[in-house]
Amino acid sequence: MRELQESFLHAGARRAATHLLATMSMTLLATLTLFPWATTAQDLTIRAGHLVDVARGTALTDQEIVVRDGVIVGTGPWRHSPGATPDGAFLDLSDRYVMPGLFDTHTHMSLVVDRQKDGGNFFVTSLLDNTPYRAIQGVANARDMLAAGFTTIRDVGNSGNYGDTALKSAITEGLVPGPTMHTAGRIIAPFGGQFFLQPEKRSLGEPEYFYADTPGEIVKAVRENLHFGADFVKIVVDDQRYIYSVDEIKLFVDEARRAGTYISAHCWTEQGARNAIAGGVHTIEHGPYMPNDVLEAAREAGVWIVGTEFTVEGLSQSFTGDDLSAIEAEHEAFVDRLRRAHALGVPYVFGSDIVYTKEGETRSSLTFTILDNFRKAGIPPADQLRAMTVNAARMMGLDNERGQISEGLAADIVAMPSNPLEDTRALEDIDVVVKDGRLFRMAGRTGY
């Protein structure tokens, strides 16, 4: 069996081959029987002991999910007699909680900040790590995220010279495994971006950032990003003393809309968020300092909050500075903003912004730490799940493709031993991952 599994890992995703697995028993899945484990989407029937309806926040018992060519074609009560199994590939998850795959809507697959190497300063990271190397880091991170149950992600830049779009292409073409990706390409910003340069080396901030300070530069930056494969456009509104004005943001928004996409706005300050909302952006990334009137303006304008609710450790490891009291205060601002956004009915989704490393942890395990702050803010488990599935799909414009276990949607499905509607820590134990109808992970074994 091990030799057969290894053949999947090394066969090459471009070859459409189907392999037969005999009945497979596993410690954690008492009665999992799988027939073809293939590099192509397979026809599959899944028996779900508990099927989580993320939209309603409920779970139905003893259900079936029928998959054809990677798409869900039917759901409903399990209809086979005791002991009987359907024809074809069958996945018995009768002792598992089954739900749609997870979304992380603020990721940086090709950015790894390592204090041992770069002192925790991603400006230094961008100087030390070239784009090909960062794209390879992205391959490793994307594979890890998929194995943890994140079947869709939005990569918001900081990937060197379009490392994110290269990674997306490799996943789409089947060269490497990974989640469905939407990418931003190069982040557009006023001169300097999120870096602080010196006159003798003013070009060091590129290509990490695309500087645009005039109307002509703004239009060109949007068009060039889209030409090189970006799905949407991310701008940095306010990390310098000078920030993008409402009129400048409107120019970004208009140009993106003409191309059928949207603007995602990095905002850290209150004024940055005000300008972004007035300018018509689709999402605000971060936004820790948004008073209630700004949150209400976002709700009325239909602007999504991608909050990236940092832990204290995340703030201290991802950014320079050692003032623990200031870090703790900023962490509390993120949690408080999430609490107030939830109470006011502002649309928000899960985004991690994890870029740092920690011994014994992976990109995905650190991503789950963001949920600690959702719990700290008092967000109910059902709303946490919606922020990671159906609402995230809606924000990304994928709600007619992914985000729920429903007929006509892609078969992105995960399973775990305990109930995530009671406690989302259950998600950390996801041990079955089906991506587009293909079984990618079973109880620690991964591969296509």
Mean pLDDT of residues grouped by 10 in the chain (448 residues)?
33 31 30 40 89 98 96 94 77 96 98 85 84 96 98 97 97 97 97 89 91 98 98 97 97 98 98 98 98 98 98 85 88 98 98 95 98 98 98 98 98 98 98 97 68
Report field, pTM of the whole predicted structure over 0.85: yes
pLDDT at 14: 30
Report the pLDDT value the prediction gives residue 23, as an integer from 0 to 100: 29
265 lies in the same domain as 414:
no
Quote the domain boundaries for residue 25.
2-101+404-446
Q: Phi, psi (5° rounding) for residue 432?
A: -135, 130
CB atoms closer than 10 angstroms to residue 194: 17
User: Per the structure, how many domains does the chain have?
Assistant: 2
State how far the alpha carbon of 72 is from the alpha carbons of 64, 132, 135, in Å.
Answer: 11, 36, 32
Whether residues 209 and 357 fall in one domain? yes
Which among 439, 432, 412 is positioned nearest to 95, based on CA atoms? 432
> Do residues 56 and 199 both lie within one domain?
no
In this prediction, residue 332 carries a pLDDT of 97
Domain end: 395, 413, 430, which one?
395
* pLDDT (0 to 100) of residue 56: 97
Same domain, 212 and 125: yes
Residues with Cβ within 8 Å of 194's Cβ and at least 6 positions away in sequence, in order, are: 209, 236, 239, 266
**Same-domain pairing of 307 and 436:** no
Q: What is the spatial distance between Cα 243 and Cα 128, in angstroms, rounded to a whole number? A: 28
Find the DSSP H helices in 1-148.
Answer: 2-10, 115-118, 122-128, 131-147
* CATH at 81: 2.30.40.10
Q: Which of 346, 251, 238, 355 is nearest to 308 (CA)?
A: 355
287 and 204 part of one domain: yes
Rounded to whole angstroms, how far apart are CA atoms 413 and 435? 7
Q: Which residue has the tokens 């390409």?
A: 185
267 shares its domain with 326? yes
pLDDT recorded at residue 447: 58
Examine the domain organization and report whether 296 and 378 are in the same domain.
yes
Instruction: Count Cβ neighbours within 10 Å for each residue of 15-45 and write b for 16 or more, e otherwise.
Output: eeeeeebeebeeeebeebbbbbbbbbbbbbb
Residues 6 or more apart whose Cβ sits within 8 Å of residue 6: none
Do 67 and 132 belong to one domain?
Answer: no
310 shares its domain with 410: no
Report the chain's terminal Cα–Cα distance, integer Å: 15
Q: Are residues 171 and 294 in the same domain?
A: yes
What CATH number did the domain enclosing 115 receive? 3.20.20.140
Are 291 and 434 contained in the same domain? no
